[in-house]
Amino acid sequence: CLMLAIGVGYYVWQKPGNAAVAFATATGEQRTLALNDGSHVVLDTNSDLQVQYGKHERRLTLLQGQADFQVHHDTTRPFVVHVGDGTVTATGTRFQVRVAGGIDTVTLLEGQVVVAGNAKPSSSEQVTLHAGERVAIQSDGRLGTPEHLADTELARARGWTEGMLVVREWPLARLVAEMNRYSSVPLRLGDPSLGTLPISGSFKASDQHSFLLSLEYGWPIRIDRHTPGEIVLRHK
């Protein structure tokens, strides 16, 4: 009976407090979540997040997309975001995680977080980020070198949570790829040489029409809408 009681007690202690709850956004959609511990999450377009709170840990898993986390302080229950082959642990802070192309990134806006990578086969490493820093988690679980972000990059990180893309001298190819995340009608570069054209400005991510007008009036770009299912950017 004693052994049975110990076994049941261990199982109850280990068992998560609640089942995981899934949240998702469609193309062009952003969603703000108020979690039951007082934390807030902004989900970007095409994002998929699972949330599971237990007695000893607040566990979240970002399966795809991008999210901004504003964490309610609680030292007894760390806030742990699982992503790819790594984790981000915080007790109270604001940070962002993005899943893209096999390389996940963690950007810290306020406070402090610990980023750990699950490198193969069994080794692991971790770094402590401070406000204004970013680190990449490689597909093999290794961590990149933390970098201090310029003011323009910090403005971009804060801007997307309000639906804005704030860019400075971005190659047009990169900006087009980012805008395509928010639209069901993709943009394509008809002239490959346009890809390196530097673009600066603030653009509403969900307003493709205004973005194209800005390109037409501000840069030597012509908009071609004759191809079904896509919009092609060409030299004037």
The pLDDT confidence band at residue 9, using thresholds 50, 70 and 90, is: very low
Query: In which residue are the tokens 């229950």 written?
Result: 77
Average pLDDT of the chain, as a whole number: 91
- pLDDT of 224 higher than 60: yes
The pLDDT of residue 235 is above 50: yes
Q: What is the pLDDT of residue 121?
A: 60
Q: What's residue 170's pLDDT?
A: 97
Average pLDDT of 102-131? 88
pLDDT at 7: 44
Q: What is the DSSP secondary-structure string of the chain?
A: -HHHHHHHHHHHHHS-SS--EEEE--TT--EEEE-TTS-EEEE-TT-EEEEEE-SS-EEEEEEEEEEEEEPPP-TTS-EEEEETTEEEEESS-EEEEEEETTEEEEEEEESEEEEEE--SSS--EEEEEETTEEEEE-TTS-B---EEPPHHHHHHHHHGGGTEEEEEEEEHHHHHHHHHTT-SS-EEESSGGGGG-EEEEEEETT-HHHHHHHHHHHSSEEEE--STT-EEEEE-
